[in-house]
Each structure stands twice: as C-alpha cells, then as structure tokens.
Amino acid sequence: MTTTSTEGPFITDHPLDGLRMPGEWERHARCWMAWPCRPETWPDEEAFDAACASYAEVARSIAGFEPVTMVCDPADVAEASLACGGGVQILPLPISDSWIRDTGPSFVLGDGGRMAGVHWRFNAWGGNYPNCDKDRQVGRLLLEQAGVPLVEAPLVLEGGAFHVDGQGTLITTEQCLLNPNRNPGLNREEIEKELRLHLGVSTILWLGEGYEQDETDGHVDEIACFVRPGTVLMLTTDDPDDPNHRVFQDNFDRLRLARDARGRELEIIPIRQPARREQKGVRLTMSYTNLYIANGGIVMPAFEDPADDEAYRTVRKAFPDREVVQIPALDIVRGGGGIHCITQQQPAP
C-alpha cells in the first residue's frame, strides 16, 4: 500500500480521485535539474568539467522557454550559479548524482489545480552504483521546497523508464520494469497496478528491450517518446548488423499492433540513431528521443554525427508549433544519460 507523510504540506490520502500525470507537452510551471557532483560518473576530470558546461547550456536553453531550478550540492552553489547565469534559480539540497529525471518526483495533476508529487523508491538503477543514499531523499526534499504534496510510492522506478501521453497511456520496457534488480517481489500485473494507481493511466504498452548496453537496463526515453497523444517518436537503424536493429524492429512491431487508452492506432515517427560510438569498450547511448519538451520549445541533442541534421528536421516536423534548439550533448552522454535524463518538468496547475 502507498504511504504518505502527515507532516508539513503533505497530503494524507492517496490521489485515486482523478489525478494524472500530464503529457510532457502540456504547460509547465518550471523545469527541475540537478548540478553534477559526482566526478566518478564521467571518465576523467576533463570530461566532468565538460559535462558541467553542458548541463549549464541545457539549463540556459530551457530557461529561454520556462523557469528552471537547478538543485545542487551546497558546496557547489557558487560554481553552478556562475555557470548557469542569473536566469536559472539555484536550490542547495544534498544530492549524490545529477539525473533528476530518475531521482526526482513525477508530478500528477487533478481538477481545480490540485497537484501531488509521486516519490518513487530509488535503488541506483538496480544497485549498479554505490553511495547514492542522498538521491533516495532528493525527491522528498524537492517537493517540500516546492510546497507540493507528497505521495510515497512502493515501487522502485526511475522517471526515464516510462513516458505517458496524458490521456491514460504509458509506454515502458520489459527489460527495465520487469528486471529482478528493481522489484523482484512483483509480477507484471502488480507493477501495472501501481503504475495505474500513481500515474492515472489505464493502458500500459510494453516494449521489449532498450538501447544496447544501456546502463539503466532499458529506459524507454533512450528509444522512444510520446510527441502527442497517439504519436510516438521512435529510434531506428537500417544496419542489420547493429544489435539495436532487432530490438528496434521488435519494438516497432509491438507499437504497430498496439492501441492506446482511447483505442487509437499509434502513428510512429522514425528517427535514425547516430553512428555507434564507444567509451572504454561500452557503447554510448546516443539517442535523439532523449530530449526535453519545454513551453513553446524543444531542447534536443546533437552528437557531432552526420545524422544530427536529419534528426533536427525530423523533430521540427514532429513539433511544428515549437522552436527547436539543438545543442551538443555528447559530454552528458559520456556520464550515462541525455537531456531528458537531466531534466524533470513540473506541470502548471
């Protein structure tokens, strides 16, 4: 059962009465980010410094569309403030790492402007990383600072593991949510029940596997994202020798046969992945679906790859009413994630 806090501004019952997680294209109150504080996440000190600069560029780009709050370790306030500039609010909080999509809350809305934040259990992506204790509480602290009621969910889950369409449909992967390193005591039906309960969805679309060698065990934001209700942007490759080819084709076939919560067939927009690139023998998860949808804009990645231009055109066509900003993201990817991974939208009530 769900537990809730009884102190401060937190609610004391479960939001079963109409709260839902909005689609990411719906209006935002702000974007949350977290400043890099864990140098060992990146290959070396130079890569860490480059990642900090890239985080700041993402923050400044999003701030051109909506307010941005950068959570940072108290020791890093001066550095983060200087790098991000006056257009980004800095909030000192204890953090272990900088992937706020996965450690922060998922915001849900209801009628009359009611809002709550779902605080998932966090176990460092299936126990892949040590010393992440602070990140188990950052969602709770963030909600307290924002004055948003908290709902404690009994599910180990990261925000990058799912996408919603705001109309009752959720997309995820079996590789991640059914992985025994997350919720070994729960089966598919029990996990679906918790997703429906906490996010206000009714239909779960299961893809199979995620991006090759993705250290998050197949987060869906590395391979697909909702563009709007009924439309999914999906990563593809035409190289039959690429291990992603089989995975992407299987996922495409699953979505082609699927129906969303309102019974619609899905429009699938293919977007070609960049060329393979490795770091210490491990493939980098470079994905154009790992982007941020802002108020009136899109902040998407570039990877110094010939596919960047084609991806930009595809995203512009997919989001014709938004300004698309493409920024270098390879330095972020070297740490294991992308632009979507380092951001978390708070919807406007």
Is pLDDT of 9 > 70?
A: no
Active site annotation includes 37? no
**Tens-digit pLDDT profile for residues 38-55:** 999 999 999 999 999 999
Look at residue 223 and give its three-state secondary structure: coil
In a domain, 287, yes or no: yes
The distance from CA 103 to its chain's CA centroid, rounded to whole angstroms, is: 10
Neighbour tally for 102: CB within 10 Å: 24
Is pLDDT of 284 > 50?
A: yes
Catalytic residue among 31, 37, 72, 341: 341
Ordered DSSP codes for 240-268: TTSHHHHHHHHHHHHHHH-B-TTSPBPEE
In a domain, 63, yes or no: yes
In a domain, 146, yes or no: yes
Is pLDDT of 5 > 80?
A: no
Nearest C-alpha neighbor of 334 from the set 31, 55, 101:
55
Query: Residue range 269-295: average pLDDT?
Result: 98
CATH of the domain at 95: 3.75.10.10
- State percent of the chain over pLDDT 90: 93
Q: Is-above-0.75 flag for pTM?
A: yes
In a domain, 295, yes or no: yes
In a domain, 302, yes or no: yes
In a domain, 22, yes or no: no
In a domain, 141, yes or no: yes
Dist CA 261 CA 53 (whole Å): 41
Number of structural domains the chain divides into = 1
Beta bridge partners of 152: 3, 119
Which domain range does residue 209 map to?
28-347
In a domain, 23, yes or no: no
**Tens-digit pLDDT profile for residues 78-113:** 999 999 999 999 999 999 999 999 999 999 999 888
